[in-house]
Each structure stands twice: as C-alpha cells, then as structure tokens.
C-alpha cells in the first residue's frame, strides 16, 4: 500500500512506532487524550497536530498522507544542500564571486576529491567542497582566455555534474535536473559532446530515481546512439561513457521503461563494452568508473527488476568486487540487491545479515536509499522485530515505518506494508 492509502490514525500509529502514546503526548506537549482520539479516528486542533508532527520529526503533510515520510537527513547534510543549491544557481547565472579562483589544474584536483567524497558517502564534506568549487569554477571560466577556455569549461561542467549527483542522492530532484542542465549548456558552448553525453547519462539516472523510467530509457538510448564509438575507436573515455549509457538504458528498460527483451539487449551491449575496456575506467578520473565489475553489479540490478531469480543467484556466486576499483556506493548498492534476492528466496537471516553489512560499510549512503525500507518491510516475520528495528534505525528508515510493516508497539503483526 502507498502511504496515502492509510488512514490518519494508521499513519500516526506507524510514525509513533515504539514510542508510547504517553511518550508522544509528553514530547508534543499535548494531552494523552488528544493522541488517543487521533488514533481512534478522531480529529484535533491544528496547533495540536503541528505539535505532534514536530514531536515525530516530520510535518503535517506526512501525517495527513499528502507526502510520504522522508528519511532523516543529518543537520550537516541539510546545511550542505542549502549551500550547494545556492552555489549551483549562482554559478549558472554568473553572479560574481569575491574569491580568487584556483588554477584550472588545482580545480581539477578538487573536482576529483569531491567525486571521491560522493562515492564514499561523505556527503557533508561533499557539500562543503561543492559550495566552494562551484563559484571558483565559474570565476575561472569567466576569467579564462581563449587558450584556457575549453579546459576551464570542462572543470565547470564536471562540477555541475557532481552537484547534480549529490542533489539526486539528497532527493532534491529539481536541483539535480537544474545542475545537469547547466552543465550541458556549458558543454555545448565548448563543443564537448562527450561531457554532454556523460551529463545525459547522469540525467537518465536521476530520471530512474524520480520514477521516470520511460524518460530515463529514451534519454540514455538516444545519447548512446549519438556517441556510439566505431569499432576501431581506442578512446577509453568514450567507451566508458557509452557503456554507462547502454547500461542505464538496460536498467531503465528492466524497470518498466521498455520491454524486457530490450533490457537484455542493452545489457548484452554493456557487457561487450566492459569486456573491451577489460578493467574499470572513469572518464578523466571523473564520476562512475565503468568496466566488467560495474556491469556485473548492474546485471544484478536488472535481474532483480525482471524477477529473474535464477540468474541473480548465479551472479551472486560469480561476482567479485575489488574495493580498490569499485566505489563504495556501487558496492553498497550491489549489496542491497543481494539482500533483496535473499528475501525473494526466503533467506531472511541472510538478507538481514547482508543489509547489516551494507549499513556498516556505507552508513551515510544507505540512509538516502529507498530499497532498505522495502527489504525491511518484507523481512517481517522472518527475523525478530527487535532486529528489524535496529536495521531500520541503521538504514534511516523513518521511525515507525518498519513497525507498520512488521508489528505494532506491542508486537502484534499488522497486515500490509508501506512502499515508497
């Protein structure tokens, strides 16, 4: 069931989770009678509702089902998002900065450092870096002479791409689309079709996170056709970006963006590109490394989406990821897919163990993912409720959502699950 399909009384119970009615009333500074009345289907005054929503660390739109619960974002990340949003739009508009920008080479190193923070899930650090990088990269672009303009523009494009990736993880889809569009505009000005295609690949991924699978597929497929390398092409950067596009097309197709056989066709192309590269390669050291291991993780994602359990189990046995070559975020996402397959075949303990491992290695990253909540809800009855609650806390699943899927505060099973 969708969050909006529950009654306000059910949503309040779910959000309250393990907190008692008395505890909620005390925290919200309302009477216990108000809480009980709401959970029995009654009404309350707006001030009381606002106080209850604040006590539950949510807002009234969530309480009334107009918006699904958001996963908790750390204070530092919220501040970072605000800074990145302002810096992104200011850099796009060209608002002058009073900072003396670094050289193009220095800024290129800073971009690579920001990328490393992104892939390691260090989002507060990432936000701080981007808030400084965006105005400096724009200032360097504005000051660049003819000889330096292409290189400076490339740095600015890549900063916009990293900003779009960060915004996507934070759930700020409008900012993600805007940052990537700004980047594509600069790529067009400097005539860099490869960077433009790379930004399109990232945009297609944002579409997937936004539930726009058809749009994500169409964009990735069209851009793949546009930049497809010749067989004699030796440029690893071009093959890497092309591989990312056909992989994104495969994933989008598997999630409903196109027929199943289309997903398999694009995945076959992705494997061929990965084999040609023979190892993981990132364009200019920037963004997602692409190669055989990354393709294997996405093959798992496609198998999960298509319900091809047999192939997914085979991939689990054969896929080996090198932590020196595959970013933490990619390994963690693969771990979630493995956990989901364990759930599909009734291996509750194995699924819980896999999810615990993902939470251990990528504690910040996992709190911005939707899949942990789905896995936890499906583990109801397969593992103890106490363990589910610990998992939900580690994964950043909103307080009470796991209880709604698994049990009420007193341990009584509740039918139905919540999906986002």
| Cα–Cα nearest to 110, from 285, 324, 236, 323 | 285
Q: How far is CA 245 from CA 147, 176, 360, in A?
A: 31, 18, 31
Phi, psi of 281 (to 5 degrees): -140, 130
Q: How many CB atoms lie within 10 A of CB 47?
A: 9
Spatial contact of 331 and 361, defined as CB atoms under 8 Å apart:
yes
Q: Count Cβ atoms within 10 A of the Cβ of residue 346 and give its class: 0-12 exposed, 13-18 middle, 19 or more buried.
A: exposed
pLDDT of residue 398: 62
313-336, pLDDT tens digit by residue? Answer: 999 999 999 989 999 999 999 999
Spatial contact of 295 and 274, defined as CB atoms under 8 Å apart:
yes
pLDDT of residue 317: 93
Scanning 190-259, the segments in alpha helix (DSSP H) are: 193-209, 213-227, 236-252
Residue with tokens 């529950």: 6
Spatial contact of 242 and 224, defined as CB atoms under 8 Å apart:
yes
Which residues of the chain are under the pLDDT cut of 50?
399-420
pLDDT of residue 378: 85
The pTM of the whole model exceeds 0.75 = yes
Spatial contact of 186 and 134, defined as CB atoms under 8 Å apart:
no
How open is the CA angle 218-222-226, to the nearest 5 degrees? 170
pLDDT of residue 267: 97
| Cα–Cα nearest to 302, from 265, 328, 329, 275 | 265
């Amino acid at each position: 069931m969708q969050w909006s399909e529950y009654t306000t009384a059910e949503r309040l119970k779910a959000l309250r989770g393990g907190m008692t009615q008395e505890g909620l009333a005390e925290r919200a500074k309302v009477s216990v009678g108000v809480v009980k009345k709401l959970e029995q289907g009654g009404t309350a005054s707006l001030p009381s509702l606002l106080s209850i929503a604040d006590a539950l660390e949510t807002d009234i739109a969530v309480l009334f089902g107009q918006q699904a619960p958001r996963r908790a974002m750390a204070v530092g990340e919220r501040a970072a998002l605000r800074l990145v949003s302002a810096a992104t739009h200011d850099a796009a508009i060209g608002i002058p900065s009073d900072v003396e920008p670094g050289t193009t080479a220095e800024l290129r190193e800073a971009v690579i450092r920001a990328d490393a923070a992104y892939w390691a899930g260090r989002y507060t650090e990432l936000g701080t870096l981007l808030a400084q990088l965006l105005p400096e990269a724009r200032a360097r672009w504005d000051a660049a002479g003819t000889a330096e303009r292409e290189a400076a523009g490339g740095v600015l494009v890549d900063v916009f791409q990293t900003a779009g990736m960060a915004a996507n993880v934070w759930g700020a889809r409008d900012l993600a689309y805007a940052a990537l569009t700004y980047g594509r505009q600069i790529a067009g000005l400097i005539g860099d079709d490869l960077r433009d295609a790379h930004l399109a690949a990232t945009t297609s991924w944002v579409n997937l996170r936004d539930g726009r699978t058809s749009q994500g597929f169409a964009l990735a497929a069209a851009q793949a056709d546009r930049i497809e390398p010749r067989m004699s092409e030796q440029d690893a950067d071009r093959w890497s970006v092309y591989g990312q596009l056909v992989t994104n097309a495969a994933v989008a197709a598997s999630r409903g963006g196109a027929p199943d056989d289309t997903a398999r066709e694009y995945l076959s192309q992705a494997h061929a590109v990965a084999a040609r590269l023979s190892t993981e390669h990132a364009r200019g050291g920037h963004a997602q490394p692409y190669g055989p291991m990354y393709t294997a993780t996405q093959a798992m994602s496609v198998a999960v989406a298509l319900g091809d359990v047999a192939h997914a189990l085979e991939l689990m046995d054969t896929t080996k990821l090198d932590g020196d070559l595959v970013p933490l975020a990619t390994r963690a996402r693969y771990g979630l897919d493995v956990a989901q397959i364990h759930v599909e075949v009734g291996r509750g303990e194995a699924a819980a163990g896999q999810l615990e491992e993902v939470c251990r290695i990528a504690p910040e990253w996992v709190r911005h993912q939707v899949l942990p909540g789905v896995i936890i809800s499906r583990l109801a009855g397969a593992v103890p409720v106490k363990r589910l609650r610990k998992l939900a806390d580690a994964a950043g699943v909103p307080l009470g959502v796991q209880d709604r899927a698994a049990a009420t505060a007193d341990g009584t099973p509740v039918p139905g699950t919540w999906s986002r």
